């Protein structure tokens, strides 16, 4: 095979595998802060990227959900605190 064709093929295969590589695992708290987005309809006061600074009570709940061996998380909360989305 022609060396330039071989090099192009190797580069193509490397790009394909880079796209197919699984993402690094994230804890629920990390995932929420990286990917969660609140719409204005869902929460008009805090529309935009999810931040635990806006709802500090959820930080502990999300952190507990990511701990190894934890099968159930129980929390007592007031109404309209945001647990339905999670």
Dump pLDDT digits (tens) for 42-65.
Answer: 778 888 898 888 888 888 888 898
79 pLDDT band (50/70/90 cuts)?
Answer: confident
3-state DSSP assignment of residue 14:
helix
51 within a domain of the structure (yes/no): yes
* Cβ contact 46:54 at 8 Å: yes
| 8, containing H or E segment | helix 3-20
pLDDT at residue number 86: 54
Task: State what percent of residues in the chain have pLDDT above 90.
Answer: 29
* Cβ contact 33:58 at 8 Å: no
83 within a domain of the structure (yes/no): yes
pLDDT at residue number 50: 85
Domains: count for the chain: 1
pLDDT at residue number 46: 80
Q: How many CA atoms lie within 13 A of 55 on its CB side?
A: 24
What is the average pLDDT across 25-45?
Answer: 86
67 within a domain of the structure (yes/no): yes
**Angle formed by the axes of helices 28-35 and 56-65, nearest 10°:** 130
């Amino acid at each position: 095979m022609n060396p330039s064709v071989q090099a192009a093929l190797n580069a193509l295969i490397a790009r394909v595998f880079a796209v197919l590589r699984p993402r690094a695992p994230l804890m629920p708290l990390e995932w929420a802060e990286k990917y969660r987005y609140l719409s204005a309809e869902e929460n008009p006061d805090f529309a935009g990227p999810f931040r635990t600074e806006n709802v500090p009570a959820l930080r502990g709940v999300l952190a507990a959900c990511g701990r190894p061996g934890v099968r159930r998380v129980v929390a007592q909360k007031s109404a309209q605190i945001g647990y339905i989305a999670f």
